[in-house]
Amino acid sequence: MSAERPTEQRRFTTPQGFLLAGSFLITLGSFAVLPYMSVLLHQRLGLGLGTVGVVLAVASLIQFAGGVVAGPVAARIGLRRSMLVALALRTAGFAAFVPGLTSPVLAIGALLLVSAGAALYLPANKAYLVGGSPDADRPRLLSASSSAFNAGMALGPPAAAPLVMGSPGVLFTCVAGLFALVGVGHAFLPREEAHPETDASPEPTPGEPRSRLSPFLVTVVSVYAFMFFQHYLALYAVPRTSAGFYGVVLMGYAALLVVAQPLLAEWIAALSYPAALRWGFGAMAAGMAAIAGGGHAGIAVGGALLCVGEIVLFLKNDLEALARSSAPPATVFGRQRLAAGIGAFASGVVGGQLYAAAESAGSARAFWVVVGLQCLLLPVLLMYGGRRTARGRSEPRAEAASELRG
């Protein structure tokens, strides 16, 4: 019997399996459309590139910062209902794109609906997924969820490519229908209220040493560093290799994420937070250095190293945020989404200036060198700040104790 227990613990429950399959389908549908949004708004609807940039920035802000709304909404109406409301918003948004193909106002409104639905859905989805499960299962569940999302992200754009420009109305109709079907499936999920342990906060282990690093701040910095790669690799890689090779790198990156994250989940969970920062930022720094070397091999190796850094940091940040907070999981994941949004915004602002400066100096490789140096310095600053915070909190206690003894 004891030999069978580990196998049973590793199975997904039926609701968990459905959520993982739904995560893949939802991301597949979303990324069949969203990567092409700038093209549709600019070429089909005639919006200027400046206007397109503002629209996409607002949509991204809603999608990330709006995650903090998920916690209060879930606390009021429940996780399952939050997901249903979110899917209804996204279904309505994709359906509104059909008449929006001839109306910029409708198209922008549809995009904002889709973004609001994403902001509400993702924290509730993760909270429902880990709810009622032992802490030891959280790395496996969160890594499987990330793999499902990344698989959908990888397959969505090529699946939609034949329709996106020639028959976008058909594409949006299919995506809206897909979201409606997934939403119907969510209606049959058991209510989380039937499992009171889902809202239980993890108790800290007595005597367990814990770093003073803030998961929120570490997430901001992690996403800030990572998004330089996400935003600017195409600008650097395509002229030096080819668009086809860049596409292969992205597909390989997504495949590595899908396969490696579940395999590394337990190892990442066992790492201390400072060790995870050293591994994650170290891999990112090495990846940036490889990209700076240029060429097909350097860019491919750099992408693989960045993938390892993303896997370690993003999963560990979520696990630490859950372990340290007494708030419900939906609130924790909403805050993590806000942190990611802040990091992505800062990276976009700083990265544009850095890349322009590097190009004007005649060496785009210098951009990746500077970013790699940031990846080496940022964890040092984070850990130094954490130690100072720990000392600042302990010194008043020590002074108070000495006064009592005196």
pLDDT score for 328: 86
Q: Name 350's Cβ contacts closer than 8 Å, sequence gap at least 6.
A: 224
Mean pLDDT value across residues 312-341: 90
pLDDT score for 10: 60
pLDDT score for 95: 94
- Residues 292 and 363: their CA atoms lie apart, in Å, by 10
Angle at 224 between CA 321 and CA 128, to 5 degrees: 35
The backbone torsions φ and ψ at residue 133, rounded to the nearest 5 degrees and listed phi first, read: -100, 150
pLDDT score for 234: 83
Burial label, 335 (beta-carbon count in 10 A; 0-12, 13-18, 19+): buried
- The model's pLDDT over 163-221, given as tens digits with 9 standing for 90+, comes to 877 788 898 999 999 999 999 999 999 987 444 444 444 444 444 455 678 999 999 99
Tokens matching residue 342: 């802040």
Mean pLDDT value across residues 103-109: 91
Q: By the 8 A CB rule, do 12 and 128 touch?
A: no
Nearest to 382 by CA among 335, 313, 326, 292: 313
pLDDT score for 211: 63
Nearest to 225 by CA among 380, 385, 373: 373
Per the prediction, the chain carries an average pLDDT of 83
Tokens matching residue 287: 């990846």
Residue percentage of the chain with pLDDT more than 90: 36
- The model's pLDDT over 318-327, given as tens digits with 9 standing for 90+, comes to 999 999 988 8
Burial label, 402 (beta-carbon count in 10 A; 0-12, 13-18, 19+): exposed
- The model's pLDDT over 262-304, given as tens digits with 9 standing for 90+, comes to 899 999 999 999 999 999 999 999 999 999 998 899 999 999 9
Amino acid at 134: P
- Residues 371 and 284: their CA atoms lie apart, in Å, by 9
Mean pLDDT value across residues 391-395: 50
pLDDT exceeds 90 at position 315 = yes
Rg from Cα positions in the chain: 22
The backbone torsions φ and ψ at residue 214, rounded to the nearest 5 degrees and listed phi first, read: -90, 120
